[in-house]
A and B are shown apart, each in its own frame.
Chain A
Amino acid sequence: MNSTATAAPRTSTSMTKWRKPDEVPFLRLEGVVKRFGDFAAVDGVSLDIYRKELFCLLGGSGCGKTTLLRMLAGFEQPTAGRIYLDGADITEAPPYERPINMMFQSYALFPHMSVESNVAFGLKQDGVARVEIRRRVAEALELVQLGPLAKRRPHQLSGGQRQRVALARCLVKRPKLLLLDEPLAALDKKLREHTQFELMNIQEEVGITFIVVTHDQEEAMSLSTRIAVMDRGQIAQVGTPTEIYEYPKSRFTANFIGSINFFDGKVARSEEGELTVTVPDLGRDLHVRSTRQLAIGSDVSVAVRPEKIVISRDPLDLPNSVRGKVRDLGYLGSVSVYRVELENGALIKVSAANTRHSAEREVDWDDEVYLGWRATSAVVLTE
């Protein structure tokens, strides 16, 4: 299940916005494996990452993303495979010899040093002249807006401030690659949103390639230029947030990001880029636009996102339409989430924006409703 950067069915102009299509990858992982005894934490990962990307490794706990990150930093040695950065093989280089810096989840600020000394530490190791150190430290602190706190000690700072010191400490060295381990995990919701934008701005400003490890889909979707979804030590899919969300390649990826509904069936017809899938106990065929070439009779799942489904008390004029009864209604303020039971007993999740006041709500509990979606709103999955 290795995949390098793939093109979506439509040429993604999003990628070419910040890189040339034929550019050489900046960071390349080739068949990287990490075994602890019999257990393979990372099981054959190959990846290409380009300059100035804000790349996300996304996955649940135990998927191997942190191990992968630590191998990039140099704290773990791959059992097999190679890692190339800017053309050089860094697989066996110790952490203090790599032009890579890491921002730790716990921030790992040196408790016995001031903010200034913390940020200056890396430059001192490089033997940079003292005057130059002072200048660059001041610059870095300005960048993260911590200038006035330079003389403080870590325990005198709030969590958000500590994180910014950790960031400054890395950036001041102008590394080729910056690794971030769950950067937003320890922050509360408001701070998280704010920091997300700050991180993106800083990254654009300094133009360093970022690799972020996270388990939070929202974080990954909003921060990154591209995401690699990981599962059990392997990459499930790599792509831009849009690609991953709209064109998942497997049930795992589809299920992992956001919510999704599956209809299992067999391919009945395949013509002109549109597939017709027979779903046995549904009593009707589903129509999906797809460029995939699939044999008649092959087993497939039709995957539809809840927000792509229209829910109405009246019949719908859409290529895909089913009937059901509303079993559950979740009012989330801006959006309502419905669980609709179809004739065959399947529970379908539908979400719709509350365009009207809740008192004028159209659809309510136990209503008989029609669900419908376009042929372009679904994806066909074979895995």
Chain B
Amino acid sequence: MTITAKPPKPRFKTGDTVHIGDRKAVGHCRTPWYLRGKTGVVASIQGTYHDPERLAYHKPGLPSQVLYKVRFLQSEIWPKYKGPATDHLEADIYEYWLEPATEERRP
């Protein structure tokens, strides 16, 4: 996994509310099951990397993918979460797993 010389333009920016694709993984998948279908906020843009879901099958990993750090409220992920309402979790998610969040999905 290496940073490419000409990174693609990120589709999302820090602070954007994003929805994680609620779909089944086909083969190697870097988005954990417990985050699929959840809504979070872009905390930062981590960079651009060769696509691990293609590198896993000995492909060059192109096109490169923008990697985001997405912040989720713990209470959004775990329905029975009993900790403070402000508790959150951050996860690295590649762009193809992100969708713009619609208004009604905003936490």
A, B from the same assembly = no
Q: Which positions in A face B, CB cutoff 8 Å?
A: none
